[in-house]
Amino acid sequence: MAARRLPSQPWRVRRRAWKAASCNAFPCSTACAGPDEAGFRLASGGRTCYTARQGRSPNMKRITGLSAMLLALASTGATAAEYTLTVEPNYPPYQAEQVYQPLLDYLSASTGHTFRLKTATNYHVYWRDLRNGVPTDFAFEEAHFTDYRITRLGFTPLVRVSDPTRYSLLTTADTAEGGLSGLIGYRVVSMPSPSLGYLALIELYRNPMAQPEILSEASNWKDGVDMIFAGESEGAMVPNYIAQLYPNLVSLSDSREFTGRALSAAGNVPQDVREAVTQAMLRLHEDPSQYEVLVELGATQFVQADAAEYAGSERLLRAVYGYKPAPVRPAEPAPETGQKPEVDMDALEGIRATTED
């Protein structure tokens, strides 16, 4: 009698049997209990299951969770941004990096953001960039530049140097005996126009026919003093915080006081960043370890700044080449009420028109 042929097994059953066999053929470090397509659970007894070898291990969820955690941690640093701080070209660019680096490091450490220095090679380039509105995030400048940025570029002053700015015309004791007129026709060193020192010097000698020979050869304010000692000039116009370092020279004249240098912010700087920078600068003098920052800036401390303190300082730039007065804003028309004048009918009562026969 011929053996009866059994019907072939369905393909799903054959596939489950193949999986079980393959799990017994490969070593595994952990037990497998993964459901297959038909809903059955296969136990490999410590051997690698088919799904694990196909990249669908039970540890996949752990790996995915770890990756999400790392991405979340990385995203916390994404809020830190980079900002530019523009300063006047009181120093050559390479020297300015050294002078202002302590301030940049302090702001970066205090706010969590990165600050980069931006300056120009000289005052002529600086004035050109300012007129053209070259973008920057923060600016640390004298009063006339600060007011220009406020009125023309929408900057907001955050803090300022507590001491007012004054400029002193230094000379030797012998030259000082002749007074201001004793320097007419003689060499006086200053930073180029439109630095505040240059404009303050012009205020002392308003007559163009009776002025010193102004030399704009200094690369920083101290160069003028060195040129006096070297016999290359008879006078130098320097900020008051520089003049105080040379008691052996005579201040022939001091300029009027200007509101202290201000740190201002552009309109596109977020409000929380402005607040962080403001608070950091207001606390600067309280930290003895940051004394170097104040020394490099020639300041004792910073205080809150107000735009009203700088109003009108821009007028110092009127005689500078390229200056254009700010456009006058048209006055807003008075709002129309739309009400017609009321006539008091009672007051008209009793008026009669008469005619003669």
Question: What CA–CA distances, in Å, run from 238 to 21, 161, 200, 202?
Answer: 92, 17, 10, 13
* Tokens at 194, concatenated: 């439109």
183 backbone dihedrals φ, ψ, rounded to 5°? -100, 0
Q: Is the alpha carbon torsion for 119, 125, 128, 129 positive or negative?
A: negative
Question: What CA–CA distances, in Å, run from 100 to 43, 86, 96, 115, 150?
Answer: 69, 10, 6, 11, 23
| Nearby residues of 258 by Cβ (< 8 Å), 6 or more positions away | 142, 143, 144, 164, 165, 166, 196, 313
d(CA 208, CA 220): 25
d(CA 142, CA 262): 7
Q: DSSP readout, 272-302?
A: HHHHHHHHHHHTGGG-GGGHHHHHHHT-S-E
Alpha helices for the chain (secondary structure H) = 11-25, 50-53, 60-76, 93-111, 123-131, 143-153, 173-176, 196-204, 221-229, 240-243, 271-282, 291-297, 345-348
d(CA 196, CA 186): 21
Per-residue pLDDT, 342: 62
Give the β-pairing of 235-239 and 167-171: antiparallel
Q: Please count the residues of the chain.
A: 357
Q: pLDDT tens across 156-182, in order?
A: 999 999 999 999 999 999 999 999 999
334 backbone dihedrals φ, ψ, rounded to 5°? -65, 135
* Tokens at 3, concatenated: 């053996």
Per-residue pLDDT, 79: 74
Which ranges of the chain have pLDDT less than 70?
1-78, 329-357
93 in helix, strand or coil?
helix
The HSE-up count of residue 78 (CA atoms within 13 Å, CB side) is: 6
Strands across the sheet containing 302-304 = 114-118, 82-87, 138-141, 262-265, 156-161, 302-304
Burial bucket for residue 302 (CB in 10 Å: 0-12, 13-18, 19+): buried
Q: pLDDT tens across 208-265, in order?
A: 899 999 999 889 999 999 999 999 999 999 999 999 999 999 999 999 999 999 999 9
* Tokens at 137, concatenated: 């995030």
In order of their start, the domains of the chain are 82-164+260-317 (3.40.190.10), 167-254 (3.40.190.10)
d(CA 18, CA 185): 107
Q: DSSP readout, 40-59?
A: -B---SSB--HHHHTT--TT
